[in-house]
């Protein structure tokens, strides 16, 4: 019996209008998200444009009128970084943010490993107590912690500014307040790792410390990066704790220094916008460079 191939009709390539209709009909959520993103970005675009404008132009017209009066300059950034001490404050922000991110990341990961794979008395009770600390507002503890730092300095060396007079105080404060969330997030990720890997490492004679560094951490990069992004952005954009725990004028971070950008004539909007965008540049670079790990870390642990 002979068979005859049945011709298959080829679909004509979709035109631009047909593709647009298909996109609109199939992706209404995407359109809503794009609209929200555009609305959300408008203030950032306005801040960026304002940071390149002269003071008279800012006072006479809005940033959206720059197309008709294109007069941009880099003097605002030069003035901010040199004359307003923003350059040193930028380094201070890095000196505060990097250790205040690494310390809770390492300590929280070690504690999360213990709560996940090491059996000890009252393990779950202690973990619930640590998680309960997340509901305590930071503002309630600022004054007691500051007094404790001063008393500790007097008790050890007789100097009140031993801790508060350097970055040590704000490092300890940020690390302490971040640990409950770090332990909660990382522990929920660690318990989803295959038990066979942990048991195989223990059968081979690996200690808990070796398992933690050679097995757990390499498999937990998305969760570690997710918490690292959260913590870095929180510390970098922090103003309240910097005002409380940073006592030396030379150690002030960008968030505090920007609030001091004013003259006898009022707020210097051209300098303030340039300084604000300098402050925004690092968080934006960190977020977009580690966005892939950030999304993976949020989704990891939700489904085993």
Say what the pLDDT of residue 304 is.
44
For 98-119, write each residue's pLDDT tens digit.
Answer: 999 999 999 999 999 999 998 8
Domains of the chain: 95-251+278-299 (1.10.3720.10)
CB 81 within 8 A of CB 278: yes
Q: Residue 121 has which token pair?
A: 């008395």
Question: Strand 266-267 and strand 262-263: pairing?
Answer: antiparallel
Q: What percent of the chain has pLDDT over 70?
A: 80
Say what the pLDDT of residue 225 is.
87
- Return phi, psi of residue 266, to 5°: 115, -160
For 211-269, write each residue's pLDDT tens digit.
Answer: 999 999 998 888 898 899 889 999 999 988 888 888 788 888 988 888 777 654 456 77
Say what the pLDDT of residue 20 is.
65
**pLDDT for residue 296 is more than 50:** yes
Say what the pLDDT of residue 95 is.
93
């Amino acid at each position: 019996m002979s068979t005859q191939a049945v011709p298959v009709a080829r679909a004509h390539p979709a035109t631009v209008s047909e593709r647009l209709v298909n996109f609109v009909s199939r992706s209404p959520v995407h359109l809503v998200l794009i609209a929200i993103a555009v609305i959300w970005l408008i203030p950032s675009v306005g801040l960026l444009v304002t940071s390149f404008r002269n003071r008279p132009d800012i006072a006479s017209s809005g940033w959206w009128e720059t197309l008709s009066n294109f007069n941009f300059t880099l003097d605002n950034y030069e003035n901010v970084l040199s004359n307003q001490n923003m350059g040193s404050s930028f380094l201070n922000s890095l000196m505060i943010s990097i250790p205040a991110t690494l310390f809770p990341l390492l300590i929280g990961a070690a504690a999360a490993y213990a709560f996940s794979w090491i059996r000890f008395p009252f393990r779950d009770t202690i973990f619930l107590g640590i998680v309960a600390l997340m509901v305590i507002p930071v503002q309630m503890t600022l004054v007691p912690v500051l007094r404790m730092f001063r008393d500790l300095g007097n008790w050890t060396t007789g100097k009140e500014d031993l801790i508060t007079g350097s970055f040590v105080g704000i490092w300890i404060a940020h690390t302490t307040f971040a640990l409950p969330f770090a332990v909660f997030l990382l522990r929920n990720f660690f318990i989803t790792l295959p038990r066979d890997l942990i048991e195989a490492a223990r059968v081979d004679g690996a200690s808990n410390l070796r398992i933690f560094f050679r097995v757990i951490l390499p498999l937990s990069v998305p969760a570690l990066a997710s918490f690292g992004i959260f913590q870095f952005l929180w510390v970098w954009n922090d103003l309240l704790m910097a005002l409380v725990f940073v006592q030396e004028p030379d150690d002030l971070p960008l968030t505090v220094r920007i609030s001091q950008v004013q003259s006898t004539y009022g707020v210097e909007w051209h300098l303030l916008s340039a300084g604000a965008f300098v402050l925004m540049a690092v968080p934006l670079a960190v977020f977009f460079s580690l966005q892939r790990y950030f999304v993976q870390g949020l989704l990891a642990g939700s489904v085993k």
